[in-house]
Structure 1
Amino acid sequence: MSHAVAKAALSGRPDRAIDSIARPPDKIGHPPPASRPVLSRKFFQIGFNKCGTTFIARLFAMNGIPTVHWEENGLAEDIAFSKLSGRAPLQPWAHVTAFTDMESVRSINLPIVEAFRDFAYLDRSFPGSVFLLNTRRVEDWIISRYRHRGGRYARACAQARGVGLPDLADLWQADWDAHLAAVRSHFAGRPELIQIDIDKAGPADYRDALAPYFDLPTCPDLPGPGLRRKRAGYLPALDRMLNTPRAAIPAADHDRIAGGLAAFARPARIRMKPVGFAACSGQFATFDAATGKVAARGGVPLPILPDAGRRFHLDPAFPRWMNVAAAVNDIAEVASRGLYYIDMQPACRAGAGDGARIGRPILAPSRRAGAENVFLWPAPRAHWPGNDAFLGNPDRADPPFPDKRDRAIWRGALSDDAAEDGAPPGADRLGFVAAHAGSTDVDAAFLPGDRAALDRRGHGGLATGRADEAFLLSHRYLICLGGVAGLRDFAALANTRSVVLKEEDDWQGFHSGLFQPWRHYVPLAQGCGDLAERLAWARANPAECGRISERARAICAALADPDLRRRHLTRVLQDYRAATGQ
């Protein structure tokens, strides 16, 4: 099957959001009711996602049976790590009976985990359990997967598997066929396997099929016409997603751009000193690529283990190490040898001044200009091509420059990881937004999530209810404030038909050397005191603004190229090994 499945008729029953007390709709976890004993028999839903998994979870939960659904990737990642480490799986949920949607697909460089496909391991670990294989019309399932999370899910899958978006259809079809065959072979002749086609089953069919094992007198409703109407819009969106041409970077440019990125990544100075790494953060770790061992300070092993394919899995009980695990996967993709010191704190102050000296080179997502011993490495959460936070959703609506509002806009968070020690959190940003309150030229406001913190300071009115991407991109001029948050935001703003007005400071990220003032963005002085002047210049030079935007988008297209990224990372690690005598 090719991506021509996009033309198939839409049918089937989409997943339904679940109402759950004190948890987001996709996360269900109910403690065992005091009036009902914990059931010893477990239930595992082992069909793919987008096959009514939330309906199944709700069926159990609303009947008082302890149920956990997805757990924000935690179920799948616990099963994968438990299998690698030899411990019993799902120990944090010992009281739970029903487990659904055991999958993890993150928009950072961590392995895709489809733990429901480890049904044989779960069968051995929990003898006597009941397994439900939920299926649907496979063409509809593929379409639904493509449009899951607005396309972000598919983009993350494509990046993780190293393929183009159109290629996923064939891979997913093969996964579907192999999984169904394996399940049916493993459970052949065993009553513990229940199979339900969600396109044909009604609520009572689930209850009746599970009746020998679980008492489920109350059944949730199936999705209504509203969700079916939503699905009717999937095909046009899928067509745009699969057929919109992407900018091609000439192969001859790959080495040149990768070389420029690697050259900028090198520290201002390399000095080996016996001072250790006290100036590094709590995100400091070492990675031995040859042995696959990851350790914190003092050689303490971290809960990060490789699988047979050298993909590194993090124990989900330790989310603070997620950035380190992602960086380890980045390194392992391009290097099979070398000892690497890394510090994945977003704002790395190591190497910047006598009080922050470190004993040897490290890899870090940011640095102060002139910092010694700090090689720049892409920030895991914001600089991975499978993450829309990096370059923005490639299918987003972005009007031509002349059709946008003749106004500058800023949206962002109150805090910034780069705030100086002793400064009130968000002081600079608060002053910037307050200075432009009521302005007709500059729309500056904080994100709605900061409203409570702003209320406590008496500035609740500076948070906005309008922060969606379409509204942001309806403006000609996009303001990027400085600091590490600015490094994180810049590429997504630059990859638009708007023009970026960027506050200059001495923070550097891995791509900072590629973007030049007046060529790829309009510079603002630190503190943005010249914003009115720069905005007036931009308004007087619309043609040059168009060229600035076009050149910035060309750089972003290069950064999204998988081959170029691989060459860039390979060269950085080659330089790192040379600098450390490896």
Structure 2
Amino acid sequence: MIEAPVSRIFLIGFNRCGGAWFRDAFQAAGVRWRHDRTGELAADIAWHAAAGTRPLERWPRLVGISGLQRWNKPHLPKVEAFRHFAFLETQFPDALFIYNDRDPADWIASRFFQREGRFADCEARHEGCHRRDLPQIWLKDRAAHKLRVLRHFEGNPRFLHFDLSHDPDAKLVNWAAPWVRLGELPADRGVESAARNVVQIDALAEDLHTRARRPRHRPGRPDSGFVDAVAAHCLGTAAEAGDNGALSPAAAFWTPDGTIEAKLGHPLPLLRSGDGPYLAERSDQARDRVQAVVNGLLELGAHPPLTIDMQDAREAGTGGRPVPAQRTLVYNRRPGAANLVLWPLPGYHDLAPEGRPGAFAADEVAFEDKPDLCLWFGNLTGKPLPHLAPGLGQRRMAHHYLRELAQGPDDAMRQQIGQALSAVTRYRVVSRLHGRPGFEMGFVLPPKHEKAGEDRMLAHLVTRRVPDTWVQQGRYVLSLSGNDTGSNFLSAAASNAVVLKEEDEWELFYTAAFRPWEHYIPLAPGGDDIEDRLDWARSHPGHCKEIAAASRALVAKFAAPENRRAWMAAVLEVLGARRAPP
């Protein structure tokens, strides 16, 4: 029950410090509270702090706010909006602030093992360090943030420092009383004690001690031949005449003054504060990709102007379509398309050496010890292939057909949808091979397509979410085209399995280096020859093992920081977006 006016209540401590407990306590008293796990609120606050404008206008009825960080998108800047407590106090003078704290040893252990270590991996990527370095970094950061908070709010009655490991409930209840009448607080504060999990803590300490004795990786010299070949492939060909109508609606122009403009010329809501990264007011796929690419370019020492179009399935320059008016960074193109310069897609192509944060999980099972299974899991994407549906009128992306299925089509429409999907590689393969001995596969649909997944055409083919390591669970992994090429190719190529890749004619930054029968087994467009290729693979296990080893070595070469930085720098120098070193 609200006793006196209060616009907001902010938790300004770190994550893993009882945010959900505070939410439950205040919600029971009638306070509208959100413990954010998406990073949406944190991104909004950080962007408005850079702009100097009032945040959280999209949530006018929200009072309590916790979870003010974004870590679940490692390709985007880490956002810790709880650090903007001074800005928030200026924007909301009648707000309440709680510095939620806990025992530091318990806090470190809780963070280190959060989401099976994924949080620690993301932190290590952002810090540019090993996981073993995190406890010391976290302790120093915690001490510095705590000192800043306590100094800023010293003597302020609208501020509370609450230690969940030691402070009694009455401390919170009595402090909040002038504004909120709290009832009995939840008994479980959600802050486990190290004393209850000694084995886990001891294992952490021993693991860190062991890793600390290992020599740190020192970058070598780049492989000049490899770097030159990758850069030449990515640069492709240039053309003088072009039309920016060839760009997708998601394209962006990074202009000389640092502004990032949309295709139609208006500024995108991407701001840079000082020499920090660009931040976005809100998240969507197109904006996230532009933001991530530009921030990556900054790390490489690049400068504008540059044009970026990270949309899927770039068909520009083929089939009578024009090419862009200037050379443009894309992540995919058709062979021979001019003015399209290949670049890694953030979130998909962020390669790192094995064992480093952000790397693919190491595959500990040798090819010959894996189950004799052929695997594929993924989203239902793609477009009907012309040679498989010559009589089909309009060929549309699969998501259009999924939307129609979700609406409950009549029999005539269902027949048309079935005809179209039968020419989409992923549906064609999964509907034919699902449930057969030796195959494990299924569609993992995003929430927006769950309704379509309940239709009788798909329900038996849909599976629950699978771990990223599914590519390691059998000897043979399919890489099937979707909107463009198969997005699981690199993770599969980094495993001890052999990849059977559909030849889809899409070019990405890595495709020229991977050769059929040397690094993967090729499949015909549509995948109708999968069974024949598997018969060959099963009768040539030695050759398959060699193919898998070659592809794994090539992924490692792409992931080597010295090679990755060198070929990207070479591309930027040709584009005039980076000065060559003296």
Q: In structure 2, which of residues 240, 246, 251 is the aligned counterpart of residue 272 of structure 1? A: 240
CA shift for structure 1 position 339: 0.9
* Partner SS state of residue 155, structure 2: coil
Change (3 A) 1:567 1:484: farther
State the alpha-carbon separation in 2 of the partners of residues 246 and 539 from structure 1.
Answer: 40
Instruction: Using structure 2 for the length normalisation, give the TM-score.
Output: 0.84
Change (3 A) 1:566 1:139: farther
Q: In structure 2, which of residues 110, 117, 120 is the aligned counterpart of residue 151 of structure 1? A: 117
1:514 matched to 2:513? The reply is: yes
How many positions carry a matched residue from both structures? 541
* Partner SS state of residue 356, structure 1: coil
CA shift for structure 1 position 556: 2.5
* Partner SS state of residue 149, structure 1: helix
CA shift for structure 1 position 41: 3.8
Q: Is the 8 A contact 2:254 2:306 kept in 1?
A: yes
Q: Is the 8 A contact 2:121 2:358 kept in 1?
A: no
Letter in 2 for 1:116: F
Q: In structure 2, which of residues 124, 137, 141 is the aligned counterpart of residue 175 of structure 1? A: 141
CA-to-partner distance for each residue in 1:492-541, whole Å, 9 max, x for gaps? 11111211111111012112123222222222122222212221222222
* Partner SS state of residue 279, structure 2: strand
State the alpha-carbon separation in 2 of the partners of residues 466 and 475 from structure 1.
Answer: 17
Number of the residue aligned with 2:176: 210
Q: Is the 8 A contact 1:518 1:548 kept in 2?
A: yes
State the alpha-carbon separation in 1 of the partners of residues 187 and 282 from structure 2.
Answer: 33
State the alpha-carbon separation in 1 of the partners of residues 119 and 60 from structure 2.
Answer: 29
Change (3 A) 1:466 1:361: closer
State the alpha-carbon separation in 1 of the partners of residues 254 and 215 from structure 2.
Answer: 35
State the alpha-carbon separation in 1 of the partners of residues 223 and 20 from structure 2.
Answer: 44
Number of the residue aligned with 1:124: 90
State the alpha-carbon separation in 1 of the partners of residues 536 and 508 from structure 2.
Answer: 27
Letter in 2 for 1:284: A
CA shift for structure 1 position 479: 0.9
Number of the residue aligned with 2:329: 363
Change (3 A) 1:107 1:556: farther
- Note the 1:319-330 alignment, pairs <5 A: 320-330=286-296
- Note the 1:93-104 alignment, pairs <5 A: 93-104=59-70
* Partner SS state of residue 123, structure 1: helix
1:75 matched to 2:41? The reply is: yes
1:474 matched to 2:452? The reply is: no
CA shift for structure 1 position 375: 0.2
More displaced, 159-168 or 528-537?
159-168
Number of the residue aligned with 2:491: 492
Number of the residue aligned with 2:227: 258
CA-to-partner distance for each residue in 1:520-568, whole Å, 9 max, x for gaps? 2222122222212221222222233223222222222333333433223
Letter in 1 for 2:376: W
CA shift for structure 1 position 226: 9.7
Q: Is the 8 A contact 1:287 1:293 kept in 2?
A: yes
Q: Is the 8 A contact 1:287 1:341 kept in 2?
A: yes
Number of the residue aligned with 1:283: 250
CA shift for structure 1 position 50: 1.0
Change (3 A) 1:556 1:243: farther
1:541 matched to 2:509? The reply is: no
CA shift for structure 1 position 185: 0.9
Q: Is the 8 A contact 2:381 2:397 kept in 1?
A: no
CA shift for structure 1 position 253: 3.8
State the alpha-carbon separation in 2 of the partners of residues 423 and 49 from structure 1.
Answer: 44
State the alpha-carbon separation in 2 of the partners of residues 418 and 152 from structure 1.
Answer: 37
Instruction: Using structure 1 for the length normalisation, give the TM-score.
Output: 0.84
* Partner SS state of residue 440, structure 2: strand
Q: Is the 8 A contact 1:483 1:507 kept in 2?
A: no
CA shift for structure 1 position 349: 1.5
> Identity of counterpart residues, as a percentage?
30
State the alpha-carbon separation in 1 of the partners of residues 198 and 338 from structure 2.
Answer: 54
Number of the residue aligned with 2:407: none
CA shift for structure 1 position 232: 5.5
Change (3 A) 1:73 1:505: same
State the alpha-carbon separation in 1 of the partners of residues 261 and 191 from structure 2.
Answer: 52
Letter in 1 for 2:62: V
Letter in 2 for 1:473: Q
More displaced, 251-260 or 345-354?
251-260
